[in-house]
């Protein structure tokens, strides 16, 4: 075994140091960014915070709210083509990514979903372990078939695989192995990488190639989202922070006769709950769960939570003197 001796950090290990600044208030801060991408040559403009493609959050109901703030929703991959056809009446394709897995079946489904609206800009290829060679081949195949679409691919947590994915055709690499709020990979497999360092290292690799990164997992407060951007993330994906709201899917928990729910179920996409729901609970010796099911507090409408997140990131920018999100990482110590 080889040990890496340099310090690796996660969100809780750091704080952003305040600095003198000329900004007067949070309203001076612009959180919108405009990106151009290495492969697709597309432009995208908006606030680069993204709802995770989980059963409970990657939903059209969430997208309808987030798109008002120009934020993206990566749709959970179990929607049917028909669901997509019906959704476009209310959902803006600029802010909705179609998610797919890597099986043969997934590719056909992806093609059908993409055909439901020619204005869909983004495809998210999501696997738990982005380190397999076959994954690179799949990314190349999707890139060849959709040369003009913004391709998000992951997850990985280290520089060399970020670079490999960008060279294979990804515009945005999704970064995060094990940090998710309902992820148990670090416990089950002992595998992971401290998320703040993963973001900084992968961003450095990606930006050198004119690629981008999406930090995925481990943000449990608006301050963590700010730290992810400060570390160099171009996009930040959140799951747990959006859970427990009216717009989410998940069983509500009631107490006694109280008609107001006290909690909501939230589960990992590799949990037994997810496997049971999607009919792939295979109890054999090769496949176990790498996610858990939790009850999160019920929090009503998602809009105030979104406003809180944006306000937190704006506040971070004011503390370090960044008048826009792009400057946040440059201004951060």
Q: How many CB atoms lie within 10 A of CB 135?
A: 21
Q: Per residue in 64-102, is it b (16+ CB within 10 Å) or e — as a string? A: bbbbebbbbbbbbbbbebeebeebeeebbbebbbbbbbb
Rounded Cα gap, residues 149 and 165, in angstroms:
15
- Closest approach of ligand 5GP to the CB of residue 309, in Å: 11
* Catalytically annotated residue among 100, 124, 183, 219: 183
Give the residue closest to ligand 5GP by C-beta.
Answer: 291
Residue 56: partners with Cβ closer than 8 Å, 6 or more residues away: 239, 243, 248, 249, 250, 265, 266, 267
Q: List Cα–Cα distances, 243 to 57, 215, 225, 268, in angstroms.
A: 7, 18, 15, 11
- Closest approach of ligand 5GP to the CB of residue 262, in Å: 20
- The yes-or-no answer on residue 74 being catalytic is no
In the complex with ligand 5GP, the residue whose CB is nearer, 67 or 271, is 271
In the complex with ligand 5GP, the residue whose CB is nearer, 10 or 155, is 155
Rounded Cα gap, residues 67 and 307, in angstroms:
13
In the complex with ligand 5GP, the residue whose CB is nearer, 163 or 224, is 224
- Closest approach of ligand 5GP to the CB of residue 179, in Å: 6
- Give Cα 59 to chain centroid, integer Å: 13
- Closest approach of ligand 5GP to the CB of residue 319, in Å: 23
In the complex with ligand 5GP, the residue whose CB is nearer, 212 or 322, is 212
Q: Is 192 left (phi over 0), alpha (psi -120 to 50) or beta?
A: left
Q: Which residues bind ligand 5GP (CB under 6 A)?
A: 52, 54, 128, 155, 176, 180-183, 185, 216-219, 237-241, 268-271, 290-291
Positions annotated as catalytic residues are 183
């Amino acid at each position: 075994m080889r040990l890496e001796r340099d310090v690796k950090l996660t969100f809780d290990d750091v704080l952003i140091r305040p600095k003198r600044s000329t900004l007067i208030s949070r309203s001076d801060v612009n959180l919108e960014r405009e990106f151009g991408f290495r492969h697709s040559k597309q432009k995208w403009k908006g606030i680069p915070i993204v709802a995770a493609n989980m059963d409970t959050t990657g939903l059209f109901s969430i997208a309808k709210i987030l798109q008002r703030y120009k934020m993206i929703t990566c749709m959970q991959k179990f929607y049917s083509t028909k669901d997509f056809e019906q959704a476009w009446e209310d959902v803006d394709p600029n802010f909705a990514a179609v998610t797919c897995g890597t099986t043969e079946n997934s590719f056909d489904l992806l093609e059908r979903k993409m055909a439901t609206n020619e204005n869909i800009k983004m495809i998210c290829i999501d696997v738990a372990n982005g380190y397999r060679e076959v994954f690179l081949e799949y990314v190349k195949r999707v890139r060849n078939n959709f040369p003009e679409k913004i391709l998000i691919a992951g997850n990985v947590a280290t520089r060399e695989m970020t670079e490999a994915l960008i060279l294979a055709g990804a515009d945005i690499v999704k970064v995060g192995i094990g940090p998710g709020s309902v992820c148990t990979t670090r416990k089950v497999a002992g595998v992971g990488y401290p998320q703040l360092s993963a973001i900084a290292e992968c961003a450095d690799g990606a930006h050198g190639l004119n690629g981008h990164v999406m930090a995925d997992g481990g943000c449990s407060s608006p301050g963590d989202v700010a730290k992810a951007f400060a570390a160099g993330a171009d996009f930040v994906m959140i799951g747990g922070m959006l859970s427990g709201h009216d717009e989410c899917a998940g069983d509500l928990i009631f107490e006694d006769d109280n008609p107001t729910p006290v909690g909501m179920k939230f589960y990992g996409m590799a949990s037994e709950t997810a496997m049971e729901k999607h009919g792939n609970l295979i109890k054999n010796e090769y496949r176990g769960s790498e996610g858990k099911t939790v009850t999160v507090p019920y929090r009503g409408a998602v809009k105030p939570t979104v406003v809180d997140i944006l306000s937190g990131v704006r506040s971070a920018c004011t503390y370090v003197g960044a008048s826009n999100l792009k400057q946040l990482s440059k201004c951060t110590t």
